[in-house]
Amino acid sequence: MSLAWDSLVAHKLRTFLTLLGIMIGVASVILVGSAIDGLGLYAEQSTAKAFGGETFVLQQVTTARTRREYFDKLKRNRQLKLADEHFLESAQGENVLYSAYATSVVDTKRGNLTSDETAVIGGEADLPEIRDMDIVDGRFFTKTEEQKAAYVAVIGDDLKNNLFPDGSSPVGRTFKIQDLDFTVVGVQARLGSAFGRSQDNACIIPITIFIRLFGPGSSLPIFGRARPSTGLSLDRAVDLTRVALRSHFHQKPGEDDRFEFITPDAIRGFIDSLLSLVAAVVVPITSISLVVGGIVIMNIMLVSVTERTREIGIRKSLGARRSDIMLQVLTEAIMMAFAGGAIGVGIGAAATTLLTAALGITLRVTPAYVLLSVFVSGAVGVISGWYPASKAAKLDPIVALRAE
């Protein structure tokens, strides 16, 4: 190792240029791995914000691999109406919380102020408990207000800033949806964006008044969650809902459900499979630079062996074995590869930290990609150093001593 280190230090520029390929390759793998892992974390956080950690959604159709499959499901599955949600409440309301859910995008106004493309959400009084919503000012609307189709709304932080820019509490004040006055009863905690769209330019109104304004639509999603007091699991709540709805639709035993569920686990599983596919394609492509770095190391080691032919001849004439010569050259190649890998990991981690701070995106260095980078860079060193080492070890000492 001492001989290898002396050789690397003696040719600093050559050593640096040789390391450069490995450094860039490892840093690229670290950055790509951080981006993939960060994307998974971002998707999970966004799903939790928009969905709720222990929430399931009941829909007519949730997923379809093809257009044909989608339209087949539309024909087979039942449309879900507010009456179906009321049935579930009467059948399983003691165990499970339910809320019908509908959305529409319109401009909202207050005086000469306008908030463009506000998401108007129709929901029920149990929605905050189902979706873990926090109300930072005022309250959520009540069951009585929902049943009476009251003109009340809970608004998001962006909508509050757009329509009530004076900074005072908007609770008790009015704004217009479809030219109708709605009274603000509460302000929801800031959620940020999910999948590139702000969740705070939104307001939630009772589903009853929503249907009056925008119509019932073809089918309503229904959010559900086990009542915390019952101690039921998410899967158990889904099973109870499934049994009740199959009975409501008069389905026979053995028949496929005529409705579908989305759960957080299903969403996370889909995201994980998608990211695994991306990683399987992208990481090998970024690793090509490691192969290029290995080729550079091999070339430099061949040059090094040629330059040190006389030295190798002297060592062999004094009793050095083939394994000694091979180990000397191989150690030098491995040291270069590992040094490049370590520096590359540092560069990748630093770039990840800078991008996270500068762009406000979630990037996270994971041990798996660090180990992968170091392992690959070490393997590159062994593979690229093996041939030059083998060539040096096979030199005839008499021929080597004659070299100039």
pLDDT at 28: 82
Tell me: the pLDDT tens digits for 61-91?
Answer: 888 778 888 888 888 899 999 999 999 999 9
Among 7-16, 87-96, 286-295, the range with the most confident prediction by mean pLDDT is 87-96
Tens digit of each residue's pLDDT (9 = 90 or more) over 221-280: 999 999 988 889 888 999 999 999 999 999 888 888 889 888 877 777 777 777 778 777
Please measure the distance between the N-terminal and C-terminal CA atoms of the chain and give it in whole angstroms. Answer: 26
Percentage of the chain exceeding pLDDT 90 = 32
Helix (H) or strand (E) holding 386: helix 367-393
Do residues 175 and 108 make contact, with C-beta atoms less than 8 angstroms apart?
A: yes
Q: What tokens were used for 139?
A: 């309250």
Question: At a CB cut-off of 8 Å and minimum separation 6, what does 78 contact?
Answer: 60, 84, 249, 258, 259
pLDDT value of position 186: 95
pLDDT of 54 reads: 81
Tokens representing residue 159 in the block: 């909508």
State the greatest distance between any 2 C-alpha atoms of the chain, in Å, as a whole number.
104
Q: Rounded to whole angstroms, how far apart are CA atoms 60 and 221?
A: 8
Sign of the alpha-carbon torsion through 113, 119, 125, 130: negative
pTM for this entry = 0.65
